[in-house]
A = this chain, B = another copy of it.
Amino acid sequence: MAEMPSRPGEFELIARYFAPLAEAAPGAAGLLDDVATWRPTPGCETVLTVDAMVEGVHFLATDPPALVGRKLLRVSLSDLAAKGAVPRTYLLALSLPDSIDESWIAGFADGLSRDQAEYGIALSGGDTTATPGATTLSLTAIGEAPEGTVIRRAGAAPGDDIYVTGTVGDAALGLKAIAEFGADDALARWPDLVDRLRLPRPRVGLGPALRGVARASADISDGLVADLGHICLASGVGAALEADAVPLSEAAVRLLAERPDWRDAVLGGGDDYEILFAAAPGMAGRLAGLSREFDTAITRIGAVAAGPGVTVRDAAGALLKVAHRGWRHF
């Protein structure tokens, strides 16, 4: 009994849990080949992004594995969406310690299966290995956009308006609430905030509609101010952010009424997976139309400036200093 593995062998796990995820990908060959193939759409560029999630850094061993799988996929879908790309397929590399049993893998695959249905994509291939260390999951997502239409970080020009989709700060406030009150209490009192932390909502529909509208963009993963800084750096510009214009959810407003000292988490937190972008002033009307079409708030929160760096002011014009997480993953 001592040599009995806690889960089936690699080939059986792939056949049981991952091959079904690849059924809709004709070039995946049922995950029974050394490679996957994929036919690009003529006239489109291929858009590539890779993200890794590590147990103890990005998720906990006790997190529901379905949510871990969905978050892994959605973080990459958010990158594609912010660039105006439509997701097409993805690859996985999983390094799993002995402590990962079959039920964890079943849950992880079930989460991916649900999101594949939601976003209309399928798994194309992957690699599984053992590890003596932490569970390490990496995902390469592949999307497409017509040639020349990908929205880069570079491209913002002085005088452009700065916009953000949805609401900002929910995930970071959810994280603070869990740290302060424990997961059960936080979930009971602020379910919407905890949910935003656990399950990003990538703007997969809206993103491609921003092609030709947004001049520069990024998704908010490091934090609103940090990611705006990335756009500014790549574009060679600065930005003036109006803190009081940043859109908050009802739950965030309630929590901040109780804990006004947590306000920094809104601008400095992260894991929002909203799209932050710069657009020429003449685009306001088109953006109002897209907001209605996709039933998603699109809010002007500042303007691109000539000078370098991001300045943040409140409604009275006073300069604010925002602590942010920057470079937290390394």
Contact = CB atoms under 8 A, between A and B. Distances in A.
Question: How many of these chains are in the complex?
Answer: 2
Interface stretch (A5-13, A62-70, A185-193, A307-315): A5-13
A72 B44 CA distance: 29
A17 to B, nearest CB: 13
A129 interface: yes
A321 interface: no
A39 interface: yes
A233 interface: yes
A319 interface: no
A151 to B, nearest CB: 10
A91 B11 contact: no
Interface string A122-154: 001111111111101010101101010010111
Given A34-B83, A45-B38, A327-B9, A54 B129 contact: yes
Interface of A: 9-11, 13, 27, 29, 32-40, 42, 44-58, 79-80, 82-83, 85, 91-97, 124-134, 136, 138, 140, 142-143, 145, 147, 150, 152-154, 218-219, 230, 233-234, 327, 329-330
Interface pairs A-B: 4 shortest CB-CB: A133-B133, A10-B330, A133-B134, A93-B138
Given A33-B83, A140-B140, 13 more contacts: A29-B153, A32-B234, A34-B82, A35-B85, A35-B143, A50-B91, A50-B126, A52-B129, A52-B138, A54-B131, A56-B133, A132-B133, A134-B134
